Chain A
Amino acid sequence: MKKIALAVALAFAATGALAQEKTIKIAGFGAKSGVVRSFGINSEAAMLAAADQINRAGGIRLADGSKAKIKIDYYDDRCTAEEGISVARRMAGTDALVGVGPTCSNVAEPLFGILQKRVGNASDSGLQFPIFTDVAIKGGLAQISEWAFRNVPNEMTMYSSLFYWLKTQHPNLKTVYGGVEEDFAHSRATWYVVMKNRAEANGYTVAGESKWLLADTNFATQVREMKKANADIVAISAHPFSTCGVLKEMQRQGVKPKLLVGLTSTSSLETMQGCAKQAEGMMIPTSFAPVNKEATAAANATAKFKGSADLHSMAAWENMFILKQVMESEKLSGNPKDLQADRRKVRDGLAKLRVTKGLLGDTKRTDDREADKPYLFVQARGGNWVVLHNPL
């Protein structure tokens, strides 16, 4: 009888302890439907894998010394601005402490616009909810709000370095021809603001550019223009579907540039699945490759959650560990009544960071809440992306 009473007492004690166990909710959001669905799937998998690792190590240490487990809720913004804004408002209405996302720059830009511009400005009724972006890569977006932070690679630095390196490795190459997907914020901005500019800054002559749309199916005219220009390097700023369409048309028309440069987002499984043969030799700067033990472990952990590791999803992984560090250093209460105060602490903690630990090494944080991430150059070889050069 005594044994039963003891067991009942222990069971009650355990139930009480469970009831008191705190949870920190992190909201992920990105595209999980539509043609960029793979980005959302991979980011969610990386976040879940990172949360699993953190939770298995005990969780987040709170101000009172207790530990809280992380819970991830992932929302689909369908890569549309209106849905992204709606998702952000919904997340801010829950007990989520911080949002990690979005996938698309055309979502990030208007979404950051509904956040409070300057912290502490009582006359600004914008959302006071920290967002820590993993994927949306268009330059300079975090400037829009002091609640917006990004851990995305700096394409300006990466392409500057790539063209500089190409110049030193292949001094005989003089001209660059661009191919740009005109109707996608990232690809468009990367060609006009980054690639073109950086190629010229490194002494290349831009011989022209061909334009197409994301869902185009016929690239004959554009590739013919490319063929006429007969440039040494062809730089394609487009997403995998149209990149593959153009590469296949280049093969048909016998356009063989001496070097092929691609968009950061193209260094993914999608390109290999769509046109591995035609992409052979394409060079891309990227902020992730499984080149060390930690990066390989992160990629393997993400694979267990049915996601693939690339420069975007691994930024989501990194964000989780950066947030853990910030939450612990800012001594969160973890109580529901202190939710807004805790959100502010997370924001302030992120703003204080000057260096964060990334999978490829240390990432410098800039005053405008952007990241200066380490990177390397990869090349398509035999159906895989292999490391070509580490410039750092």
Chain B
Amino acid sequence: MSDQPSQTELDALLEQAVRRHGVGRDALIPILSEVNKSIGYIPAEAFGKIRRRLNTPQEGLFLADSHVFAVASFYQMLSLQPTGAHVIRYCESAPCHVVGARQVLEAIQDELGILPGETTRDREWSLIPTSCIGVCGVGPVFLIDQDLYGNVTPDRVHEILDRYR
């Protein structure tokens, strides 16, 4: 997922996003989201490309690359670096914490041998802390890619991660 995209792939992706969301300033975040979704992160050369594409005289937009970067770096769902093939996002907010999230996190760290914010050397796994994802009734919770796991206990971690190996 996180392989370096070719220039033409990136251009095609941008064209498609622009067709869907337009070239107004308010299209910036949806376009960034789409790039992030397809490639897994936003490659550095995308900033210039997006800026050039959105700087249309009709819209009166005069964005700099730094504007695009500023927006992309602000939002947590947008990644500026390649991630592992699978991304674990674990909730570190209070509702999960009081029902045992720390023990679950420690089990994941032991299983993968990485700390929060890191990617395994084989580029298979990234472990990313996140704030509440709104399924607190079944905490502790984590997401693997798009799949949600709730009521997780430390002894279930190995079995759950195995499903992705």
**A-B complex is real:** no
B residues with a Cβ closer than 8 A to A are none
A residues with a Cβ closer than 8 A to B are none
